[in-house]
Amino acid sequence: MTRPQTVRHESDPEIGRVLRVSGGKYHVEIPSGVLEASLRGRVKQKDDRIVSVGDLVELGRVEDAVRIERIVDRTSALTRHGVAKRREQVIVANVDQVVVTVAAAAPEPDLLMVDRLLALAELSAIHGLVVVNKIELAGTTDVPSDMAPYVDAGYDVMRTSAKTRHGLEELAERLRDRISVFTGQSGVGKSSLLNALMPGLDLRVGEVGQRKGRGRHTTVAAALYPYPGGGYVADTPGLQYLSLWEVDPASLDTGFVEFSEFAETCRFGDCRHRREPSCGVRDAVERDDVSERRYASYLGLLEEAEGK
Ligand SMILES: Nc1nc2c(ncn2[C@@H]2O[C@H](COP(=O)(O)OP(=O)(O)OP(=O)(O)O)[C@@H](O)[C@H]2O)c(=O)[nH]1
Ligand SMILES: [Mg+2]
Ligand SMILES: [Zn+2]
């Protein structure tokens, strides 16, 4: 009896989805369950194509071992730029939706981070959704006034409480049949929301008081979870270091969706909406048609993208 070297046929590759990576092992979901796979040398060497959570991968089996042979082309990717290595890292691949989470209170919303995350989503052609968690601490379930610019820009701003379960059904609805990534400051309740939405998930949550310094995150790596009823959700560590330094400064304005109709009236096609004459965006800010605070975020991120 000949022992098969591999059960994979070129015409019919076995495909799985990477759910998480730990200790050099890739946890890959296949129709019959989750298996552990290792990387084939040649996949490993390609710097720009490091296997990431969310990737669809082609698997090869040699005896009992499962190896990742190839990454299926990505439809999108949420990336950050490693501060130390100065190169792009894919946080989650094939993302449909970025859920930018803030807390109504504790911690105070970092609005520059919200703008940064939404811009990053727009620039990656990923749908952005804003969630204000811990809404029971606000005393009202209305959209907090500092979040109004996002409503005006056309974003859905959902209000939730992982504690009282307010708004969870609506949020659950938005997660179905998509790959959604929860992002936002540490301590806003991303893991708590996922635990509340997916009983049995049991992600670790941290005390707000423990997280004074930067980089003390309860969640340390991105991981993807199959969502009951279809789709996936990813929990990520609070993304403090997310940087835009590789973004083309000339296209940063497309990361601010409400600028676009006004940018059309700028005198210069390559207007960066800073000090150029006859700038439609600046005029809109002066008329209060565009939030001054969002515009200030744009200018700050523009400097960053320009490497200043
Ligand atoms: N009052 C209140 N507290 C909440 C709510 N959701 C989460 N918390 C608390 O907020 C703290 C932080 O929650 P986590 O879920 O760990 O926050 P996280 O966003 O996942 O934080 P990192 O993993 O560090 O990025 C915990 O003490 C939670 O119990 C909520 O809706 N209301
Ligand atoms: Mg967490
Ligand atoms: Zn302009």
Model confidence at 166, pLDDT cuts 50, 70, 90, reads very high
Going from the Cα of 4 to the center of ligand 1, the distance in angstroms, rounded, reads 50
pLDDT of 46 above 90: no
Going from the Cα of 298 to the center of ligand 1, the distance in angstroms, rounded, reads 28
Instruction: Decide the pairing of beta strands 25-30 and 33-39.
Output: antiparallel
Can you give the pTM of this predicted structure? 0.89
First to last CA, the chain: 67
Task: Give the model confidence (pLDDT) of 68-92 as tens digits.
Answer: 999 999 999 887 765 555 566 788 8
Q: Which residue has better confidence, 219 or 59?
A: 59
- Greatest Cα pair distance, the chain, in angstroms, is 81
Q: Where in the chain is the domain with CATH 2.40.50.140?
A: 14-71
In this structure, CATH architecture of domain 14-71: Beta Barrel (2.40)
Asked whether 186 lines ligand 1 (CB < 6 A), one says: yes
pLDDT of 67 above 80: yes
- Residue 291 token pair: 């939030």
- Indicate the average pLDDT of the chain: 87
Q: 193 and 107 in contact (C-beta within 8 Å)? A: no
User: What is the helix, strand, coil percentage profile of the chain, to 5?
Assistant: 30, 25, 45
In this structure, CATH architecture of domain 249-305: Orthogonal Bundle (1.10)
- The residue to which tokens 């700038």 are assigned: 279
What average pLDDT does range 198-227 have in this prediction? 69
Model confidence at 212, pLDDT cuts 50, 70, 90, reads very low
Q: Which atom belonging to ligand 1 lies closest to the Cα atom of 235?
A: 20
Q: Which CATH superfamily hosts domain 77-235? A: P-loop containing nucleotide triphosphate hydrolases (3.40.50.300)
Asked whether 81 lines ligand 1 (CB < 6 A), one says: no
Residue nearest to atom 13 of ligand 1 (CA): 189
Model confidence at 200, pLDDT cuts 50, 70, 90, reads confident
Q: Which atom belonging to ligand 1 lies closest to the Cα atom of 136?
A: 32
Return the pLDDT at 211: 44
Asked whether 237 lines ligand 1 (CB < 6 A), one says: yes
- Residue 17 token pair: 């989805």
Q: 237 and 184 in contact (C-beta within 8 Å)? A: no
* Ramachandran quadrant class, 300 (left: phi over 0; alpha: psi -120 to 50; beta: rest): alpha
Q: Where in the chain is the domain with CATH 1.10.40.50?
A: 249-305
Q: Where in the chain is the domain with CATH 3.40.50.300?
A: 77-235
What average pLDDT does range 194-207 have in this prediction? 85
